[in-house]
Amino acid sequence: MSQRYRHRVGSKTYLFKDLAQLLAKATPPRSGDSLAGVIADSDQERAIAQLTLAYVPLRDFLNEALIPYEEDEITRLIMDEHNKQAFTPIAHLTVGDFRNWLLSDCATSEILASVSSGITPEMAAAVSKIMRNQDLILVAKKCHVTTGFRSTIGLPGHLSTRLQPNHPTDDINGIAASMLDGLLYANGDAVIGINPATDNVAQAINLLHLMDDVIQQYQIPTQSCVLTHVTNTIECIEAGAPVDLVFQSIGGTQATNTSFGFDLATLAEAQAAALSLKRGTIGNNVMYFETGQGSALSANAHHGLDQQTCEARAYAVARKFDPLLVNTVVGFIGPEYLFDGKQITRAGLEDHFCGKLLGLPMGCDVCYTNHAEADQNDMDNLLTLLGVAGCSFIMGIPGSDDIMLNYQTTSFHDALYLRRVLGVRPAPEFELWLNKMDIMKNDGHNRLSAKIPEIFARSLHTLGRGQ
């Protein structure tokens, strides 16, 4: 057992056998780590682990791989693409010093952007474990990450939404009605994204054409995505379908991604295929990734790591492919991994902080399953905290209830609430369109028009006739 990570309290000495165990023991409590058997045995041990972690030099994370380099392509990605020049300004710091520096006025938005590629996921995870919620919010607020395709995502003072018109049978009228409903509530500037109930190439192509028809008919400055497997999207592109964004759920270990049916080479192929279509008007960010704490453990692919560190490692995968959007589906896997509202809230703030610190356009699906010890008030709290932290985008679902995936998330109205209470606005291109279409008043207060625009009224009438 290594003697490097130890701390003496009175007559008792706490020993942590390696960096992976120290990170796990220092993690704020959550049910997934208890399930994995890596959680601290007591609050005292957790506090000692956090104190010990604070004295670990950041350089240690470059010298001690949590998963062996030879066994894991994510480890190889992290090590091989580490930007040593960007790391130089912070190379002398310990984890505790890093926290203090991040919170200081020296760490401006510009400086944080300049060192971002020198920060490894493990460094980000480590510092998050010794930070309070307000620390996570303050630093994430300073991290500005902007991407673009047909709309600009992540500008300071703006909050975008994914319009999520899922339907349990992929009914075209049902999906179209939800799309129009969401647009009338000023949702959809990040993406109009559908989780297909029937997940195959033919159905994905049908849904892609539906969304593209709406986007083209109303000249909406946004992008569409069918959240199907990356290999299905490649086939859709080969078939000539109107693909804007390539989606894939990703994990922080090679074994996790193997269980999802892809590797880094697959993502590279998909990115190249999407770029070849040249469908973006203001940018070329063509990838959309989703993550979530617990995915590696649920696949028995966590290598003994805590779930938050595995989650942060997934952001190395995302960073490699210059995505338009990344979001953590924070409470979706269930209470076995995040038990209640408090654990979901902490995880959401951690994920958002780590993603933004690593240079990602980070959003969050503020959500929970019906068997978790959480309710919509917990989600209101997390939604507001993430808004204060500068979250790039959230989900917009009719009535907060996804009737296809059967989980609770945020509604069209929740985005209006957050925009109004924080004074943030939709993506600038989308806001101009909202004003042009008479959906939103051009007065800077995110107020909707009192009546449905005539062009949408005609569409709703057509839907009502089942055409």
Q: For the segment 94-112, what is each residue's pLDDT rounded down to a tens digit? A: 999 999 999 999 999 999 9
Neighbours of 13 (CB within 10 A): 11
pLDDT at 123: 98
pTM: 0.95
Instruction: Report residue 90 as tokens.
Output: 């912070």
Nearest to 406 by CA among 365, 376, 363, 368: 368
- pLDDT over 60 at 464, yes or no: no
Under the banding of pLDDT at 50, 70 and 90, the label for residue 466 is very low
pLDDT at 324: 98
- Spell out the residues 6+ positions from residue 315 whose beta carbon is closer than 8 angstroms to its own: 121, 124, 252, 291, 326, 354, 355, 358, 360
Q: What is the mean pLDDT of residues 320-345?
A: 96
Per-residue pLDDT of 44-92, as tens digits, reads 999 999 999 999 999 999 999 999 999 999 999 999 999 999 999 999 9
- pLDDT over 90 at 405, yes or no: no
Per-residue pLDDT of 159-181, as tens digits, reads 999 999 999 999 999 999 999 99
| Mean pLDDT rounded to a whole number for the chain | 94
Q: What is the mean pLDDT of residues 248-256?
A: 98
pLDDT at 460: 58
State the Cα–Cα distance between residues 372 and 133, nearest whole angstrom: 21
pLDDT at 444: 62
State the Cα–Cα distance between residues 371 and 387, nearest whole angstrom: 26
Per-residue pLDDT of 279-296, as tens digits, reads 999 999 999 999 999 999
Taking a C-beta distance cutoff of 8 angstroms, is the pair 429, 150 a contact? Answer: yes
- pLDDT over 70 at 463, yes or no: no
Under the banding of pLDDT at 50, 70 and 90, the label for residue 1 is very low
Under the banding of pLDDT at 50, 70 and 90, the label for residue 450 is low
State whether the Cα torsion 49-345-290-219 is positive or negative: negative
pLDDT at 368: 94
